[in-house]
Amino acid sequence: MTQALLPFEAPPRRGGNTTTFVDNMRLPVHRWFRYSAGFSAQWARAVLADSGARRVLDPFGGSGTTVIAAEQSSVSGMGVDVHPFVSRIAKAKLAWRADPDILLERARAVTLEVQRARRVEGPSSPLIAKCFPDTAALEELLRVRDAVETLRAGDAYDELLWLAFVSIIRACSPAGTAQWQYVLPNKTKSRVLEPRAAFESRVRLFADDMWAMQDHLAAPGGQVFEADARTLDGVSDGWADLILTSPPYANNFDYADATRLEQSFLGEINGWGDLGPLRKMLLKSATQHMGRWDPAEALDSPLVEPIRQELFEVYSRLADVKRAKAGNKAYDLMIAGYFFDSAQVWHALRRASAPGVKVCYVVGDSAPYGVHVPVERWLGDLAVAAGFKTWNFEKVRDRNTKWKNRKHDHPLHEGRLWIEG
Ligand SMILES: C[S@@+](CC[C@H](N)C(=O)[O-])C[C@H]1O[C@@H](n2cnc3c(N)ncnc32)[C@H](O)[C@@H]1O
């Protein structure tokens, strides 16, 4: 199946490094927030075209790449993410159908309010103090935040202005950012933006993208909402004929910590300690998500039956290394929790998908403490146990092949787990 290209688009990409968000920074709407955990929208469009799907579900929808790619491909899209901040980004992007002239007018009111306002109440978070040593710049950024909040009118433009604000926070700080989204306050970057100008230019970019998209797309809009992939509440039985997603990897990346700077700035949290409730909601994929969780819940569960023996062996080896390292990282719990949660996701996906569904899961394997975990094989076996028919793995690239700074030397890879049935 071929699709018409929008005039500003490169053709859908089938091969190559499709597991990265970088290319999306040139694409309208996708580029409104740099969510490094995202995957390539052009590749998502190629999968949509090749599959001939009519209804695509992304159970780990993140910043909305799949749903927006679906809108651009005239496919019904539904994305869920349990992280409220990330889900709000995706919802705001879906407002690209709003009127760009009204957005610009509303943004002008925000800048006038920024100039008028004087005193601002800053968050007391130590992270903010570290990331914004220049108090004048910090104050101006806070005035943008407050003006956006004060001028809320209860409509889609509120969300677009909110996104314009949250998407400039990092660019206005001299602090470095890691390849992923953690903040490195002790590193600096060379180009730092001035808050009001950055906000205005962001809104102009949004408006330009909205005009471009609206000129060429008339397809009905997709849906995004907050939900847990382990239950998929709100998704009707048998809805999806394609599932296209990238779950958290079992690699200790903490999605709660990834947005700590933005959430601190919004006053939603005051520091690391406030991330607890969010961590409890996430699929277990980092040691910080484990708390006092009892691994027996996973190891004794019928849900992990097809991999129980191997899972137990890996769990025990990780527990041994942890003991030898005197109470270091709880990778044993993390791996048990990851596959227990993933088994629940497969059951939820089975319920929410039609017979004959095609699933593309972009995933990588992992080797905590050098103990290799055959992620794709275990996920494939759990999917079949949940009622899907077949799985196969298509490797896309090697990871961690440079051993420098690595605590282990196990080669890892990343690719697509294709499941059918
Ligand atoms: C690899 S990212 C997906 C990024 C997405 N493909 C994009 O392009 O923006 C994985 C996402 O899973 C979400 N997540 C973690 N636990 C979840 C859960 N239990 N249910 C739903 N989403 C979850 C995280 O918040 C994160 O946004």
Rounded average pLDDT over 154-176 = 95
Task: Please give the pLDDT value at position 303.
Answer: 97
Q: Are residues 136 and 195 in contact, defined by beta-carbon separation less than 8 angstroms?
A: no
Does the pLDDT value for residue 65 go beyond 70?
Answer: yes
Task: Please give the pLDDT value at position 403.
Answer: 46
Asked whether 37 lines ligand 1 (CB < 6 A), one says yes
Which of 40, 47, 81, 93 most suits a substitution to test ligand 1, by most atoms within 8 Å of the C-beta?
Answer: 81
Q: Are residues 410 and 370 in contact, defined by beta-carbon separation less than 8 angstroms?
A: yes
Higher local confidence (pLDDT), 134 or 350: 350
Does the pLDDT value for residue 3 go beyond 50?
Answer: no
Any idea which residue has 């137990």 for tokens?
312
**Ligand 1 atom at minimal distance to the Cα of residue 248:** 10
Read off the pTM: 0.93
Higher local confidence (pLDDT), 296 or 405: 296
Lowest model confidence (mean pLDDT) among 120-134, 144-158, 170-184, 367-381 = 170-184
Lowest model confidence (mean pLDDT) among 62-71, 87-96, 123-132, 295-304 = 123-132
Asked whether 86 lines ligand 1 (CB < 6 A), one says yes
- Give the percent of the chain with pLDDT over 70: 90
Q: Are residues 233 and 137 in contact, defined by beta-carbon separation less than 8 angstroms?
A: no
**Ligand 1 atom at minimal distance to the Cα of residue 247:** 10
Asked whether 38 lines ligand 1 (CB < 6 A), one says yes
Task: Please give the pLDDT value at position 405.
Answer: 46
Does the pLDDT value for residue 2 go beyond 50?
Answer: no
Helix/strand/coil (H, E, C) string of the chain? CCCCCCCCCCCCCCCCCCCCCHHHHHCCCHHHCCCCCCCCHHHHHHHHHHHCCCEEEECCCCCCHHHHHHHHCCCEEEEEECCHHHHHHHHHHHHHHCCHHHHHHHHHHHHHHHHHCCCCCCCCCHHHHHHCCCHHHHHHHHHHHHHHHHCCCCCHHHHHHHHHHHCCCHHHCCEEECCCCCEEEEEECCCCCCHHHHHHHHHHHHHHHHHHHHHHCCCCCCEEEECCCCCCCCCCCCCEEEEEECCCCCCCCCHHHHCHHHHHHCCCCCCHHHHHHHHHHCCCCCHHHCCCCCCHHHHCCHHHHHHHHHHHHHHHHHHHHHHHCCCCCCHHHHHHHHHHHHHHHHHHHHHHEEEEEEEEEEEECECHHHCCECHHHHHHHHHHHCCCCEEEEEEEEEECCCCCCCCCCCCEEEEEEEEEC
Higher local confidence (pLDDT), 56 or 120: 56
What tens digit of pLDDT does each residue of 76-101 get?
999 999 999 999 999 999 999 999 99
Asked whether 56 lines ligand 1 (CB < 6 A), one says no
Task: Compute, in angstroms, the gap from residue 59 CA to the centroid of ligand 1.
Answer: 7
Asked whether 230 lines ligand 1 (CB < 6 A), one says yes
Q: Are residues 165 and 151 in contact, defined by beta-carbon separation less than 8 angstroms?
A: no
Higher local confidence (pLDDT), 135 or 8: 135
Task: Please give the pLDDT value at position 11.
Answer: 56
Which residue's C-alpha comes closest to atom 12 of ligand 1? 60
Rounded average pLDDT over 368-395 = 96
42/46 Cα distance (integer angstroms): 6
Rounded average pLDDT over 397-419 = 74
What tens digit of pLDDT does each residue of 41-54 get?
999 999 999 999 99
Task: Please give the pLDDT value at position 400.
Answer: 66
Rounded average pLDDT over 19-28 = 75
Q: How confident is the model at residue 187 (pLDDT cuts 50, 70, 90)?
A: confident
Which residue's C-alpha comes closest to atom 26 of ligand 1? 62
Task: Please give the pLDDT value at position 315.
Answer: 97
What tens digit of pLDDT does each residue of 306-335 get?
999 999 999 999 999 998 876 688 999 999
Does the pLDDT value for residue 130 go beyond 70?
Answer: yes
How many residues are recorded in the chain? 421
68/49 Cα distance (integer angstroms): 14
**Ligand 1 atom at minimal distance to the Cα of residue 80:** 21
Asked whether 258 lines ligand 1 (CB < 6 A), one says no
Asked whether 383 lines ligand 1 (CB < 6 A), one says no
Higher local confidence (pLDDT), 218 or 301: 301
Task: Compute, in angstroms, the gap from residue 350 CA to the centroid of ligand 1.
Answer: 18
Rounded average pLDDT over 348-355 = 98
Does the pLDDT value for residue 5 go beyond 80?
Answer: no
Task: Compute, in angstroms, the gap from residue 230 CA to the centroid of ligand 1.
Answer: 12
Q: Are residues 287 and 344 in contact, defined by beta-carbon separation less than 8 angstroms?
A: no
Does the pLDDT value for residue 404 go beyond 50?
Answer: no
Does the pLDDT value for residue 110 go beyond 80?
Answer: yes
Does the pLDDT value for residue 70 go beyond 50?
Answer: yes
357/364 Cα distance (integer angstroms): 22
Does the pLDDT value for residue 7 go beyond 70?
Answer: no
List beta partners, residue 415. Answer: 363, 395
Asked whether 282 lines ligand 1 (CB < 6 A), one says yes
Radius of gyration of the chain, Cα coordinates, nearest whole angstrom: 22
For the four alpha carbons of 370, 372, 375 and 376, in that order, the dihedral sign comes to positive
Among the listed residues 125, 257, 83, 245, the one whose alpha carbon sits nearest the alpha carbon of residue 178: 257
Lowest model confidence (mean pLDDT) among 3-17, 55-69, 278-292 = 3-17
Asked whether 85 lines ligand 1 (CB < 6 A), one says no
Task: Compute, in angstroms, the gap from residue 162 CA to the centroid of ligand 1.
Answer: 21
Look over the chain and give the mean of its residue pLDDT values, rounded to a whole number. Answer: 90
Q: Are residues 93 and 32 in contact, defined by beta-carbon separation less than 8 angstroms?
A: yes
